[in-house]
């Protein structure tokens, strides 16, 4: 391989990895939004002693439906 084709190879490798990581991160964010919707709907369907809890994560807020006995007041 000559120098030009090696540089092109590494440029394409870098771009492929960057685009792959970006698409993967966007997929995680979209998945977390869907899981949040499911948690909200599940918590609404539960009896009154369930609460919606929100936590911060690298993909945004994560919501969970928890029984009140696991929550300290």
Radius of gyration for the chain, computed over Cα atoms and rounded to the nearest angstrom: 21
pLDDT for the residue numbered 73: 59
pLDDT tens figures, 10-60: 999 999 999 999 999 999 999 999 999 999 999 999 888 899 999 998 888
Confidence of residue 2 (pLDDT cuts 50, 70, 90): low
Residue 46: closest CA among 63, 65, 61: 65
pTM of the model: 0.73
Spatial contact of 65 and 46, defined as CB atoms under 8 Å apart = yes
Residues β-bridged to residue 56: 61
Q: Specify whether the CB–CB gap between 62 and 35 falls below 8 A.
A: yes
């Amino acid at each position: 391989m000559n120098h030009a084709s090696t540089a092109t190879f590494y440029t394409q490798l870098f771009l492929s990895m960057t685009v792959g990581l970006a698409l993967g991160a966007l997929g995680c964010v979209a998945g977390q939004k869907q899981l949040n919707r499911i948690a909200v709907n599940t918590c609404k369907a539960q009896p009154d002693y369930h609460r919606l809890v929100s936590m911060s994560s690298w993909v945004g807020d994560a919501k969970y439906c928890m029984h009140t006995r696991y929550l300290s007041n």
